[in-house]
Amino acid sequence: MRGIHFLVAVLAMVAPFLFMKEKATMAVYGGLFYGYTTFNKLFVLDSSAYASKATYGKGLASAEYISFENAVRLFIEFSGVGPTVESVRRAIDDFALPVQSHVEVTAFNISYPGGVFPVEWVYTNATSDKVLVYFHGGGYMAGNANSHRRFLGYLVDKLHVKGLNVDYRLLPEFPMPIGVEDCFAAYRYLIEELNVSPNNIVLAGDSAGGALVLHTLLLARDRGVPLPSGGVMLSPFTDLSLNYSSFNDNAPTDFVLSPSQLAWTAETILSSANSSDPRFSPYFADLSGLPPVLIQVAQLEVLRDDGVNLSKKIKAAGGDVVLQVEKFGSHMLPMMFDFVPEALQSVSKIVDYLQLHFGTVESSSKCPLGY
């Protein structure tokens, strides 16, 4: 029987490449993940003997995490993800999973003096007018509503609220600060056009989307618009100077985002601007007068210190901030919730935090591994 499982595992790892044409796809990634997981469960009897870059401090990452890391590293190697806008967009699109079957999506456009951009409602069993506004990551140049719809669907299903998935306009076709203004316009649309109370709104986002949360909070404060109930920033990319230790120290352990990729992203965003300009690096803005925020980072990611330093600066400015540093995990750990227990645990903490703002009571501690 072990021999049969071994053949299935090898086939799962090899077969996707037989059908791959010009680029790797989610099928390749899924096959690699299944094959590695099966192989590890069959033949890695003592996980402590399985050397992995995912180890940190005491204890080891789960077998699922190790398998996932190996699969993603191979995916990135074979798909040719490099420092071009096109390759980054393709990689994020290829990793996107379909939204859960029971999640409803209603798309529409928001128009304001700065232009028009698409958004969508994402919801299941919303029982109130409370809204979780989500800004996707992707370095301001990649990602879209589709790439993060499944993650938002999971959150709103647990929280019984509506999600507003903001498909803001991207670089380089739309230079900064157009994307920032789109996100601010989406927030204003809720409170001014739909009359949603700011107390019933939380802004959330990952990576560049986390920075967009901060950008939007700062614009609301500076322009006299009522602030939302809170903000959630996951692995935020707010300091484009990259002047922190995790940028280099975590290069071996972050299997999603390399220092070279991050440096190229920062240069592309800045163009000729200074990295300490708060219009591009909101970390350098005055951070006083913000609502409560959650910042979650992974111990092993290159952007870890961006979030850690941001939490310190907000706290020094008198703000209410909760910092969660996940013991394991690469960049974008929560997005891996379908596959690895460490990611699901990090998402459970996000849900628990949001429950404080939305008043929902369902426990997230026993939610199943993915959908």
Catalytic residue among 69, 301, 326, 342: 301
Strand partners, 104: 123
Which is it for strands 131-135 and 115-123: parallel, antiparallel or unpaired? Answer: unpaired
Which is it for strands 104-112 and 115-123: parallel, antiparallel or unpaired? Answer: antiparallel
| Among 139, 32, 141, residue whose Cα is nearest residue 77 | 32
* 308/302 Cα distance (integer angstroms): 12
Annotated catalytic, 207? yes
In angstroms, what CA-CA distances link 354 with 47, 53, 64, 154, 318? 34, 32, 27, 13, 21
* 196/190 Cα distance (integer angstroms): 6
SS3 102: coil
Task: Give the pair of three-digit tokens for residue 96.
Answer: 């996107």
Annotated catalytic, 301? yes
Phi, psi of 118 (to 5 degrees): -85, 150
In angstroms, what CA-CA distances link 83 with 15, 148, 259, 287? 28, 22, 11, 32
Give the distance, in angstroms, between the CA of residue 345 and the centroid of all CA atoms in the same chain.
15
Catalytic residue among 67, 79, 207, 235: 207
Strand partners, 135: 166, 205
Say if CB 238 and CB 209 are below 8 A apart.
Answer: no
Catalytic residue among 136, 160, 331, 357: 331
Instruction: Provide the annotated active-site residues.
Output: 207, 301, 331
